[in-house]
Amino acid sequence: MVSLNVKEKPIGFSVVYTYHSLMNPVPGYSNRSNLYNGITTGYYNTYDHNRYQNSFQMGSASMDYYMNNHNTLSLSENYVTGTFDSYNNQTFETTDGARSVLTSGDRITNTNVRFVNYTTKLHHRKTFLKKGEELTADINYSIGSSKSPSSFTTYNYLSDGTLIADNPLLQHNDGTNQNTMLTIQSDFVNPINDSTKLELGLRSNYKPSYQALDIDTYDYSLNSYIVNQYLTSHYQIQDLVNAAYINYSMRYKKINYMLGLRFEESYYKGILTNRNDSSFHYSYPNALNNIMNAVFPSIFISKPFNDKQELQFNISRKINRPNFHQRMPFIMASDAKNYSIGNPSLTPEFITMGELNFNQTLNKGNLLFTFFARNTQSPITSYTYTSKADSSVLISTSINGKQSNTIGMDNTFKYTLFKNFETTFNMNLFYVFIDATYNSNNFSNKGFNYTTKLNMIYRLPKNFSLQLSGNYQSPKIIPQGKSSEIYFADCGLSKEIKKFITLTFSVSDIFNTKGRGTYINTDQYIQNSWGRRETRYVKFTAMIRFGKADASMFKRKKDHRQQDDQEDMGF
């Protein structure tokens, strides 16, 4: 990464360039047991050897124009481009209940993703004579596109190793994506007095996009590729969110209060243009019965008892919208018997959460205890079902459940054991209950989950610093089973040379254990799968700082008053 910043009123200028490249060979597997009346009738196993090679470039240039002591105008342009290439060699086999091989095969997959994005930002900041009072306005416009062609070659063999007729199976995928986003936002902060502050804001975000996945399969009878109408999808999206908020904070008798209210108008419409223009949409609010889906209040209260103890309480309501992969109705096959597909009928989930925090400052550290409870209506969760066309094929998607309840505690302990040696330990304990219905099938699950993190920093002589961190996440509850445990450790050694050069040597995932998986248990099957996106790697970084913080490259009068750096206020 290279960064250059120059600030000399009335002009400030900065340029940033980042390049990142990574190649990862990683394994994966999936083991399934097919059941009938509780008896295992057969097995389906896959073994993956993946290789990912990614590159990423980002460049940005921005200019600040200090119009006068109270007005600053900023303009920036960002350019992002990159590639995500992958190669997968998968072997698979189907056996009977006695584990005698019935069929086997190999599948080779090549995928090449190319993307580019341009973003233009215009920002205006106005300050007033009253300290802390300011008005900001922003306009962001971005446009991007991507192409993701891929090819699949699958060989299927009988139990004696004979290649099945009309093999190999050949498939070409051509994915394209075009997206635009326009965001307009304005925020106003007014510190009424030393103990009272008012914040107001408006925001509009509009995201139209077009997604297409064209799939061709080879037909040996025609000796040519033909369009697979079942798997091909063209999807047009209109996504609009308008919002307004007000926050009022005050201090009364040594107790701090903040009351907030946010109103969000949501509109989403997706059209499958290649399937008789079938569509899905939602709109909040569109009637009085769902007005609460657009209102999000919050209350924050804190009471310091002395310089070392403070009690905090907050309760808030939030919205979480489904992401691109959860919505897109693109059918993707991880293997011959496991498909994944987005769900265009997904709606947002609504979260109501309360927290009680106690902070205790120690002579050599800090303790933070948090007790929390969370209720989620229409929670977005994963679901796997058997295909109607072929009961041996499993299809994974995302659905809205009925509700999910979580209660737990989060504890963080930071302590300096001895000079130059700091430790931070975190443990999050929580109990989850989730209830869902899909295609008239009711299912629920509940269980105890926890995560732990340990971070240690030791500052050595001669400006060396050693850091070691470890993470463990227990299996988490999902409606039809649980996720796999996740555990890994990282370490790094850095040295600062004469205050302007920092050298860092680090190892990510020291023991090569980091990966993700799921365990699904139903009346029809039991499936255990695991994989990873990256393997252990070593990284060396050199950061060099040039010049001084107050470097000058523009002539100016010395009586200009210094202004604080701009700070955007988010939602």
Q: Where do the domains of the chain lie, and which CATH numbers do they carry? A: 2-544 (2.40.170)
pLDDT at 548: 52
Q: How far is CA 419 from CA 154, 246, 461, 465, 496, in A?
A: 61, 46, 12, 13, 19
Comparing 324-338, 423-437, 482-496, which segment has the lowest mean pLDDT? 324-338
Tokens of 1: 């990464």
Which among 224, 230, 208 has a CA at the least distance from the CA of 275?
A: 230
DSSP code at position 161: S
DSSP code at position 289: G
If pLDDT is split at 50, 70 and 90, which confidence band does 560 have?
A: very low
Comparing 1-5, 259-263, 332-336, 365-369, which segment has the lowest mean pLDDT? 1-5
SS3 535: coil
If pLDDT is split at 50, 70 and 90, which confidence band does 5 have?
A: confident
With b for 16 or more beta-carbon neighbours within 10 A and e for fewer, the 64-85 pattern comes to: bebeeeeebebebebebbbebe
Contact 344, 326 (CB under 8 A): no
Which helix (H) or strand (E) segment is 158 a member of? Answer: strand 134-158
pLDDT at 554: 36
If pLDDT is split at 50, 70 and 90, which confidence band does 547 have?
A: low
45-59, 272-286, 381-395: range with highest mean pLDDT:
45-59
Q: How far apart are CA 530 and CA 519, in angstroms?
A: 9
Q: What is the mean pLDDT of residues 72-79?
A: 95
Q: How far is CA 260 from CA 4, 72, 241, 311, 323, in A?
A: 39, 28, 19, 20, 26
pLDDT at 277: 63
Which helix (H) or strand (E) segment is 327 a member of? Answer: helix 324-327
If pLDDT is split at 50, 70 and 90, which confidence band does 388 have?
A: confident
Contact 569, 132 (CB under 8 A): no
Residue 300 corresponds to which amino acid? Answer: F
Mean per-residue pLDDT over the chain, rounded: 89
Tokens of 54: 């990614």
Q: How far apart are CA 260 and CA 248, in angstroms?
A: 6
Q: What percent of the chain has pLDDT over 70?
A: 95
If pLDDT is split at 50, 70 and 90, which confidence band does 125 have?
A: very high
List phi, psi (to 5°) of 528: -125, 120
If pLDDT is split at 50, 70 and 90, which confidence band does 501 have?
A: confident
List phi, psi (to 5°) of 2: -125, 130
Tokens of 543: 């950061």
Q: What percent of the chain has pLDDT over 90?
A: 65
- Residue 86 pLDDT more than 70? yes
pLDDT at 549: 46
Q: How far apart are CA 427 and CA 410, in angstroms?
A: 6
- Residue 559 pLDDT more than 80? no
SS3 288: helix
If pLDDT is split at 50, 70 and 90, which confidence band does 561 have?
A: very low
Radius of gyration in angstroms for the set of CA atoms belonging to the chain, rounded to a whole number: 28
Tokens of 20: 């990142």
Which helix (H) or strand (E) segment is 151 a member of? Answer: strand 134-158
Q: How far apart are CA 121 and CA 142, in angstroms?
A: 9
pLDDT at 118: 97
If pLDDT is split at 50, 70 and 90, which confidence band does 278 have?
A: confident
Q: What is the mean pLDDT of residues 165-175?
A: 93
Q: What is the mean pLDDT of residues 434-459?
A: 89
pLDDT at 1: 67
Comparing 367-371, 458-462, 555-559, which segment has the lowest mean pLDDT? 555-559
Place of tokens 């090569």: 512
- Residue 7 pLDDT more than 80? no
Q: How far apart are CA 489 and CA 350, in angstroms?
A: 34
pTM for this entry: 0.84
Q: How far apart are CA 164 and CA 49, in angstroms?
A: 24
Q: What is the mean pLDDT of residues 340-354?
A: 92
